[in-house]
């Protein structure tokens, strides 16, 4: 099984520089966009797993649950970095884990309705507390206006960077960040192997309600 995280001596400038310079990179959007960032190749066939596990993982890639488990790990990483750094998947079949930049941005809402949950872009100081959706006098201002994560998919990280211009502490911080990305890749692989061992992929029939137009004879009047 392939392991992504490697030890790096955080006292050695040379070791840190070569770790960053030689780390696998991948485009953050498309290859023609030119922006790249630190990444890990998580394509199933490149993970060095037993063929039995490999074929089971291919089957699991069709299930929603598999991605839900994986997204929990990504969410943990993003939250831990205050959404300034985010981990995401890219590539034609989503086989590459890529380090993205982003931020936590205010949604612009200033108040909300405690009855129906409707959000409002204006303060009740300006509009009164009546809710436009449900009509109740139940709106209050947020004590902390809500924020949502935003990703900058076109922004690369450390492209053509001159690491020898960086201070030791800048290098250390970046190395630690990229090591966390590598550890995340390891966790994703371990989780996938665990799921492959603990679950069976089965077919389930389900019916989707559909509408169509039909002719119905008029009742005689
Ligand atoms: Zn309301």
Summarize pLDDT for 149-198 with one digit per residue, the tens.
999 999 999 998 899 999 999 999 999 999 999 999 999 999 999 999 99
Position 94 confidence tier, pLDDT thresholds 50, 70, 90: confident
Distance (Å) from CA 35 to ligand 1 centroid: 44
pTM of the prediction? 0.85
Which pair of tokens denotes residue 111?
């108040």
The domains of the chain are located at: 1-105+149-221, 108-145
Summarize pLDDT for 25-50 with one digit per residue, the tens.
999 998 777 899 999 999 999 999 99
pLDDT of residue 221: 74
Distance (Å) from CA 125 to ligand 1 centroid: 17
Q: Bridge-partner residues for 106, per DSSP?
A: 147
Distance (Å) from CA 132 to ligand 1 centroid: 7
Distance (Å) from CA 106 to ligand 1 centroid: 21
Distance (Å) from CA 175 to ligand 1 centroid: 48
In degrees and rounded to multiples of 5, residue 100 shows phi and psi of -110, 160
Q: What is the per-residue DSSP string for 178-212?
A: HHHHHHHHHHHHHHHHHHHHH--------------
Cα 149 from chain centroid?
A: 10
Q: How far apart, in whole angstroms, are the C-alpha atoms of residue 10 and residue 163? A: 14
pLDDT of residue 25: 96
Distance (Å) from CA 139 to ligand 1 centroid: 7
pLDDT of residue 33: 78
Q: How far apart, in whole angstroms, are the C-alpha atoms of residue 79 and residue 134? A: 34
pLDDT of residue 2: 87
pLDDT of residue 30: 84
Contacts of 178 (CB under 8 A, 6+ apart): 19, 20, 23, 38, 99
Distance (Å) from CA 137 to ligand 1 centroid: 8
Position 128 confidence tier, pLDDT thresholds 50, 70, 90: very high
Distance (Å) from CA 108 to ligand 1 centroid: 18
Distance (Å) from CA 146 to ligand 1 centroid: 17
């Amino acid at each position: 099984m392939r392991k992504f995280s490697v030890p790096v001596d955080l006292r050695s400038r040379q070791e840190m520089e070569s770790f960053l310079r030689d780390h696998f990179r991948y485009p953050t959007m498309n290859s023609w966009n030119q922006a790249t960032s630190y990444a890990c190749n998580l394509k199933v066939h490149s993970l060095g797993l037993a063929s039995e596990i490999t074929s089971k993982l291919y089957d699991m890639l069709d299930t929603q649950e598999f991605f839900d488990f994986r997204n929990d790990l990504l969410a943990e990483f993003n939250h831990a970095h205050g959404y300034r750094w985010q981990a995401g998947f890219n590539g034609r079949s989503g086989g590459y884990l890529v380090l993205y930049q982003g931020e936590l941005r205010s949604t612009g809402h200033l108040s909300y309705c405690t009855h129906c949950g409707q959000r409002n872009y204006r303060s009740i100081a300006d509009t009164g507390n009546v809710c436009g959706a449900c009509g109740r006098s139940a709106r209050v201002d947020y004590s902390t206006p809500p924020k949502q994560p935003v990703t900058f998919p076109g922004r690369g990280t450390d492209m053509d960077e001159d690491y020898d211009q960086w201070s030791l502490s800048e290098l250390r911080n970046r190395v630690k960040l990229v090591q966390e990305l590598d550890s995340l890749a390891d966790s994703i692989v371990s989780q996938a192997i665990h799921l492959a061992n603990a679950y069976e992929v089965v077919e389930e029939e389900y019916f989707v309600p559909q509408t169509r137009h039909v002719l119905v004879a008029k009742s005689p009047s």
